[in-house]
Amino acid sequence: MSEIFDLLLLVLLITTALCVIRTKDLLAAAVIFSTYSLIMCLVWQMRGAPDVALTEAAVGAGVTTVLFLVTISRTVRREK
Amino acid sequence: MLIEAILQAVTAVLVAVGLFFFLVGTVGVLRLPDFYSRTHAATKCDTLGAGSILLGLAVLGASRGDYTDGLKVLVIAVLVLLSSPTAAHALARAAFRTGLEPYTLPEARGGEDR
Amino acid sequence: MKRIAVIAVLVAAFVPLAAAVAQLPTFGEASNPTNTYLVPRYLQKGPEEAGAANVVTDVILNYRGYDTNGEVVVIFTALIAALATLLVRPKQMAATPPGDDAPRSPIVSFVVKAIAPFIAVFTVYLVLHGHLSPGGGFQGGTIFGALIILLSLTLGHKYGLSLLPERSRPWLQAAAVLAFIAVGLLGWALCGAYLAYPSYSQLEWVREGWLIALEIGIGVGGAAIFATVFWTMEAEP
């Protein structure tokens, strides 16, 4: 059961990573990247590393996303 | 023993209700025409879906005697019920203030095509 | 011609590197030195030798304290570099960024005000209890930094800035480095080596106190740095 959940998480992780690369809209890419961080956080927790999971949730999904959004609001929204 | 079985049945019903709302919300996000109605569908997912699944898990914890775990799950449910509608409100408000027009039927807009 | 030369240099660098990597023990092999004595030592003797029930804290702050000290200095230097490249002066940071004067939603303000104390208590728990349970200074500090960012986004730039008063801001940003230097020098004075922990079992409370001091320093410094990076990027250039 746990293996199925792990497999599902890893498939979702790779899918979101590919989506981030392929998205031309940087705002959407930032939001998808925060989803990637949340899934990564779940993977860390499943692998038994709650410390890293906390860091990933706080830094990856929280602070970096805000910094990305501030940067986008300061520059351009679409990749050329 | 009987109480345990009843509580587990309650859990199953609550989780099923939550899954139903998640399904409805996902269909809504995919099918609805504009930003506002999609936000509305996505929020149903979070509040009703996640809320009732977490409530079900809290009941499951109580049926096993893990009262502290059940209480923690309840606190998470309260947090979700508080933060998710607020986020949806902030999103919709920001979209409306930047001038995004809600979708209306062609007849209401004077018959022009979409 | 130039391209061929570049490729030749790259190949010349790649071959010895690849040969060296091929000599390394297989990744994740059970007979690797890290798996035969290092990890078992950390897991079995960590809490007793280093003084924290959370083995991650033992490794970060005690066994590899120098490493973390260097890392903290790197993060602080990165903040200085970010401030230098963005060329934002304190006066510009105090100015209201564009869009900040738009009317605020009372619902969002209310909910954020209602949730903020709980987030703050959670960060304090993560920092002070980090040597016993998952979490620690960096995690707590990051969440507190995110809380400051949330408050300055929802309740206004001025409110967020007032949480870190301008006079004490540089000291708060340097808190992690300062805590490491203070604990390191104390260790030098009392135990004879920089960042040394007392090893006597009677002095366990001193060891725990130093761990908590380092955690608080890292937490305060991390929160101040994350908030400052946000304000710097938001400020009108």
Query: Is residue C24 scored above 50 in pLDDT?
Result: yes
* B112 domain residue, yes or no: no
In this predicted complex, what is the ipTM?
Answer: 0.87
* C90 domain residue, yes or no: yes
Q: What percent of chain C has pLDDT over 70?
A: 96
CB within 8 Å: A66 and C54: no
pLDDT at B114: 45
Contacting residues of B for C102, CB less than 8 Å apart: 97
Query: Is residue C22 scored above 90 in pLDDT?
Result: no
Query: Is residue B108 scored above 90 in pLDDT?
Result: no
Strand partners, A78: A25
Q: What CA–CA distance (Å, rounded) separates B78 from C79?
A: 37
Contacting residues of C for B93, CB less than 8 Å apart: 105, 108
Q: What CA–CA distance (Å, rounded) separates C231 from A30?
A: 19
Q: What CA–CA distance (Å, rounded) separates C211 from C46?
A: 14
* C145 domain residue, yes or no: yes
Query: What's the pLDDT tens digit per position in A29-78?
Result: 999 999 999 999 999 998 888 889 998 998 888 899 999 998 898 888 88
pTM of this prediction exceeds 0.90: no
Range of the domain at C210: 55-234
Q: Based on the structure, what is the number of domains in chain B?
A: 1
Place of tokens 């508080």: B82
Residue of C102, C105, C111 lying closest to B82 (CB–CB): C111
Q: What CA–CA distance (Å, rounded) separates C231 from C152?
A: 9
Q: How many CB pairs under 8 A join B and C?
A: 18
* C24 domain residue, yes or no: no
* C200 domain residue, yes or no: yes
- Residue C201 confidence class, pLDDT cut points 50, 70, 90: low
* B110 domain residue, yes or no: no
* C22 domain residue, yes or no: no
Q: What percent of chain C has pLDDT over 90?
A: 20
* C19 domain residue, yes or no: no
pLDDT at B111: 54
DSSP 3-state of C4 = helix
Range of the domain at B91: 2-97
Query: What's the pLDDT tens digit per position in C112-145?
Result: 999 999 999 999 999 988 888 888 888 899 999 9
Place of tokens 């830094």: A59
Q: Based on the structure, what is the number of domains in chain C?
A: 1
pLDDT at C10: 94
Nearest Cα to B19, choosing from B51, B59, B58? B51
C175 near C221, Cβ under 8 Å? yes
* C30 domain residue, yes or no: no
- Residue B66 confidence class, pLDDT cut points 50, 70, 90: confident
Query: Is residue A8 scored above 90 in pLDDT?
Result: yes
Please give the average per-residue pLDDT across B38-67, as a whole number. 87
Query: What's the pLDDT tens digit per position in B71-86?
Result: 999 999 999 988 899 9
Which pair of structure tokens corresponds to residue A26?
A: 């940087």
Query: What's the pLDDT tens digit per position in C42-88?
Result: 888 877 777 778 888 888 888 888 898 888 898 888 888 877 887 76
Instruction: Tell me B105's DSSP state.
Output: -
Interface subset of B 49-108, CB within 8 angstroms of C = 79, 82-83, 86, 89-90, 93, 97
CB within 8 Å: C136 and A58: no
* B86 domain residue, yes or no: yes
Tell me the CA distances in angstroms from C208 to B103, C136, C195, one per residue in order: 61, 13, 14
Place of tokens 């209602």: C114
Q: Which of B10-14, B23-27, C46-50, C187-191 has the lowest mean pLDDT?
A: C46-50
Query: What's the pLDDT tens digit per position in A18-41?
Result: 999 999 899 999 999 999 999 999
pLDDT at A41: 93
pLDDT at A10: 93
Tell me the CA distances in angstroms from B27 to A16, B7, B33, B48, C89, one per residue in order: 20, 30, 12, 15, 50
Q: What CA–CA distance (Å, rounded) separates B12 from B15?
A: 5
Nearest Cα to C232, choosing from C94, C93, C78? C93
Please give the average per-residue pLDDT across B81-97, as a whole number. 90
Nearest Cα to C215, choosing from C121, C134, C138, C120? C138
* C86 domain residue, yes or no: yes
Residue of C107, C114, C115 lying closest to B89 (CB–CB): C107
Residue of B82, B90, B93 lying closest to C115 (CB–CB): B82
pLDDT at B52: 92
Q: What CA–CA distance (Å, rounded) separates C57 from C44?
A: 14
* B109 domain residue, yes or no: no
Mark whether B and A touch (3+ CB pairs within 8 Å): no
